Amino acid sequence: MCKTTLLFVVCAAVVLSAGFAADNDLGRLIFQKDSLYHRIFVSRRGPVVSLQFGRRSPVAIQSQVNLDDLRRHMLEYTELTFCGLLYQPQPKRMLVLGLGGGVIPRDMRHYLPQLDIDVAEIDPEIQTIARQFFSFREDNKLKVHIDDGRMFVKKQLRLDPVPKYDLIILDAFNSDYIPFHLMTKEFLEELKGVLAEDGAVVANVFYTNRLYDAEVKTFLAVFERCQAFYGAYSDNAILVAPGPAGRMLTTREAVEEAKMLQSKYDFAFNMQTIAKRLRPNPRPDRRARVLTDDRAPVNWLRKQQRKASPKSTH
């Protein structure tokens, strides 16, 4: 009895201290606003500013920057999205869906000054917040369009000639996950229409649940080829689908390419470490089904854990 009580007290203490530590991790809440789409939280701890949607859970961070060191990637996935350059080392035009704190477009703009970047962000509040708290700046080569990602792509398809992007980064998330209409076969087919022949689509996803299998399956159904980079410290995976004239990489080729890119662009992070995260041939679970506009049970799949970790089964 005494032991049980003691155990309980210890457990409670651990839980409580973990709770406090977690709350302190992101620091003080400096801004909160309900936009049309999310409850937005901005927290700051020293120079580190974090963006969150919906709830202030220490694990669900949309964006994070260190204002004293803007080149430092605070979240693993933003760094990992640079793997797109392994497939298309000299992009001229890039499209990013989802702005958040603007980390990816800002860093791409920094390393590739010739690159024209379009960002589609649905929530005008996010644009204001990125400028105000995350030191995000737009200019004539980096433009933010306030529009639903899918609508933006559809509008590009309506132009004559259709503008093509060399790199397309999918990073549109709400407080739960990616909105379903930005995961389906029909959407990826529209995306294919604005992708250059030798370009690449780079998507930030999570690999721990069954939705991941469906996403890989959908990528394979549309682009026929797909590779993945798994996070070492996070549950993020980056799916890459090269255009019809693009190439697939072996881990060795990726590391070679990374070496060249590293010397060319002098990244503040290590491109070779990213290249080593490559799993050249991700295979979806046999039961997985392609996501379509008609059938996309995203919430249901996301609640089910994957049986095998893709890291061990490549």
Q: Interface residues with other proteins (CB under 8 A)?
A: 36-37, 122, 147-148, 150-151, 154, 158, 179-181, 184, 186-187, 293-295, 297, 300
Cβ(216)–Cβ(281) below 8 Å = no
d(CA 101, CA 50): 8
Distance of alpha carbon 107 from alpha carbon 119, whole angstroms: 13
Using an 8 Å Cβ cutoff, are 230 and 207 in contact?
yes
Q: How far is the CB of 254 from other proteins (least distance, A)?
A: 34
Cβ atoms 73, 231 nearer than 8 A: no
Could you tell me which residues come within 8 angstroms of residue 266 by beta carbon, excluding any fewer than 6 positions away? none
Between CA 15 and CA 2 the distance in angstroms is 20
Residue 179 neighbours by CB distance under 10 Å: 19
Of 70 and 146, nearer to other proteins (C-beta) is 146
Q: Which is nearer to other proteins, 148 or 215 (CB)?
A: 148
Distance of closest approach, residue 203 Cβ to other proteins, in angstroms: 17
Shortest Cβ 39–other proteins spacing (Å): 14
Nearer to other proteins, 176 or 197 (CB): 176
Q: Pick the closer one to other proteins by CB: 286 or 295.
A: 295
For the bound state, the minimum distance from the C-beta of residue 247 to other proteins, rounded and expressed in Å, comes to 31
Least distance CB 200 / other proteins (angstroms): 24
Give min distance, CB of 181 to other proteins, in A: 5
> Please, which residue, 237 or 291, has the CB nearer to other proteins?
291
Nearer to other proteins, 116 or 171 (CB): 171
Asked if residues 210 and 218 have their Cβ atoms less than 8 Å apart, the reply is no
- Sheet with 165-170, side-by-side order of all strands: 142-146, 116-121, 93-97, 165-170, 195-206, 236-242, 227-230, 278-279
Q: Rounded distance, CA 114 to CA 109, Å?
A: 8
